Amino acid sequence: AQSPNIVVLNTGQKGAVISKHIYGHFAEHLGRCIYGGFYVGENGSPIPNTNGVRNDVVAALKNLQIPNLRWPGGCFADTYHWMDGIGPKDLRPTIVNRWWGGVTEDNSFGTHDFLNMCELLETEPYLSGNVGSGTVKEFADWMQYVNHDGVSPMAKLREENGRKTPWNVKYWGVGNEAWGCGGNMTAEYYANVYRQFATYMSGWSNEDGIWRIASGASDADYHWTETLMKNIPSNLVDAVALHHYSVINWSKKSSATGFTEEEYFTTMQRATQMEELIQKHVAIMDKYDPENKVALVVDEWGGWYDVEPGTNPGFLFQQNTIRDAMIAGVTLNIFNNHADRVKMANLAQTINVLQAVILTDEEKMILTPTYHVMEMYKVHQDATLIPVSVISGDYMSGDKKLAAVYASASVDKNGATHLSLVNIDASKEQEITVRVGGSKSYKSVDGRVLTSAKLQDHNTFDKPDAVKPVNFTGAKLSNGTLTVKLPAHSVAVLELK
Ligand code: AHR
């Protein structure tokens, strides 16, 4: 019988370059993301560090080749006054982190700490500026402080604080979730406020290269995107954002590890909805920006569950299972396939918060299933998309169904093709026939797969390698046709040469 799953690699069609920035990350002053996650302070922590930043974390993130890191929020960004976080640490004011647990924030990790850490990580910073409770002057001064290479009050202050050369930050978010924690604004009001802030975000050293990213819609709020695209002149905006979390129900999110198959199915519905969201937001952008000058930046995405029992509810600390690997695999395939408009994305969040790639417990650190998916997919960074056509069998849960198979492919600068495949079916293997359209032909196939016996499987501090990728033996190439037997709930990345 013919396999119900067919993936066609349209190698004759030229796809867009998949911006490496689709594989970006997000670090907020929230729970143990910055403090205890990235940063353990410079005052004699027994955890090996460089200027207070954990060495184990730096090595793990460099291995992922993280292309950018968004900071300091999230909701925190619209409460953050950057001047609180510069100068001698013992003179910095303490504030209350009112969104996230009401804890004391001593501002010991500020602008210099973050931007120097980005240099250590060899990643590009993405600064999220305060619009909700900040001023135009405060925002413009931050840009001057960070980017100006000449003589100016802020450049002088930066030098006094130990940094002569500017960091030349390219990516700037103009507020965050302006419809909610960023000021509870209407789309119409925010569009005007945005225009005002954006007007003063230029004139410093890397003027031409700066990206101004407008705070975007939540999920299917198409009115938000339409209002921004209609009312903001294209010379003032380089990207609009979008946030979408795979949450079962905001009032009953359920356990990160103790979930049922029905809950798993709902999470997959939410994750795969990213396809429709991107299509519809992009259709609006196409209407106002047919030349495709404004990018879509999905600067918050990921799974959101109940916090781990016994942890601070305001810290959003959750475990990470095979279910999260499925979210990551499916979502990154969707982003790759929309690489012509989606130029950046940020998984929420890097360490100890929501769908983290790293969890820490004092000196211990583990890599999550999501980390491994990001690592397997890094071959797509800056590669050229090969458009794929997918005919998928169904993943049935009771009388509800979803497509089981998700795919994306790209060719890298050395000519190697990478095909990433996801089978979200909770219990059935999928046999997939991969056809090669166009003149390309392949002689060899190799790859790795990430899966585990149960959807709920995850890594712990006692068993850090319970879930990790292994060599994949389920792909066979014969007479130019590739047949793949993809295990239930698995992600595979194949290399074709
Ligand atoms: O990522 C956690 C929070 O989710 C962010 O601070 C906010 O932007 C979103 O609502």
Structure confidence by residue, pLDDT tens digits, 433-488:
999 988 888 999 999 999 999 999 999 999 999 999 999 999 999 887 899 999 99
Looking at 325, 356, 381, the residue that finishes a domain is 381
pLDDT band of residue 1 (cuts 50, 70, 90) is very low
In this predicted structure, what is the pLDDT of residue 202?
78
Instruction: Tell which atom from ligand 1 comes closest to the C-alpha of 349.
Output: 1
Output the domain CATH number for residue 452.
2.60.40.1180
Name the residue of 253, 300, 301, 315 to mutate for ligand 1: max ligand atoms within 8 A of Cβ.
Answer: 300
Output the domain CATH number for residue 236.
3.20.20.80
Residues 393 and 442 in one domain: yes
pLDDT band of residue 142 (cuts 50, 70, 90) is very high
Looking at 338, 359, 381, the residue that finishes a domain is 381
Name the residue of 30, 75, 299 to mutate for ligand 1: max ligand atoms within 8 A of Cβ.
Answer: 75
Question: Is 177 among the catalytic positions?
Answer: yes
Query: Rounded CA gap, 217 and 221, in Å?
Result: 6
pLDDT band of residue 4 (cuts 50, 70, 90) is confident
Residues 359 and 410 in one domain: no
What separation in Å is there between the alpha carbon of 75 and the centre of ligand 1? 6
Residue 15 included in any domain: no
Residues 252 and 394 in one domain: no
Residues 370 and 397 in one domain: no
Instruction: Tell which atom from ligand 1 comes closest to the C-alpha of 316.
Output: 2
- Ligand 1: which residues within 6 Å by Cβ? 28, 73-75, 176-177, 300, 348-349, 354
Residues 346 and 402 in one domain: no
Residues 358 and 423 in one domain: no
Q: Between the CA of residue 421 and those of 329, 333, 377, what are the distances in Å?
A: 8, 8, 10
Residues 371 and 405 in one domain: no
pTM exceeds 0.80 for this model: yes
- Burial string for 32-59 (b: 16+ CB within 10 Å, else e) reads bbbbbbbbbbeeeeebebeebbbeebbe
Q: What pLDDT digit, counting tens, does each position of 264-305 carry?
A: 999 999 999 999 999 999 999 999 999 999 999 999 999 999
Q: What pLDDT digit, counting tens, does each position of 367-404 carry?
A: 999 999 999 999 999 999 999 999 999 999 999 999 99
Residue 16, both tokens:
């867009």
Residues 349 and 414 in one domain: no
Residues 296 and 418 in one domain: no
Looking at 381, 400, 434, the residue that finishes a domain is 381
Say yes or no to pLDDT of 3 above 80.
no
Q: Are 190 and 216 in contact (CB under 8 A)?
A: no
Say yes or no to pLDDT of 491 above 80.
yes
Residues 375 and 406 in one domain: no
Number of domains in the chain: 2
When pLDDT is averaged across residues 417-425 and rounded to a whole number, the result is: 98
* Residue-range definition of the domain harbouring residue 408: 5-10+387-496
Q: Which entry of 28, 124, 300, 431 is annotated as an active-site residue?
A: 300
Report which protein residue has its CA nearest ligand 1's atom 3: 74
What separation in Å is there between the alpha carbon of 277 and the centre of ligand 1? 18
